[in-house]
Amino acid sequence: MSDDFNMSMRKFLKQVGVTSQQAIEAAVRDKGAAGASYAVKAVITIEELGLAHEVKGEIKGDG
């Protein structure tokens, strides 16, 4: 893959990571539920390529 492709992909994934973390932290803060565990699912889609990549996991609260 080209350097331009790799850089644009890394930029997108960094944006996904940062904005997702901020959104999750805000949701936990707003609900006042820091001590719980949450099932989480992320889906990345690229319609033009027919890609739907799903990642599931768990986020454990620190309370």
pLDDT at 5 over 80: yes
Which DSSP state fits 36? S
Lookup: tokens for 63: 């309370």
Band of residue 63 on the pLDDT scale cut at 50, 70, 90: low
Instruction: Give backbone dihedrals phi and psi of 62, rounded to 5 degrees, phi first.
Output: -110, 15
pTM value is: 0.78
Closest C-alpha among 43, 24, 16 to residue 8? 16
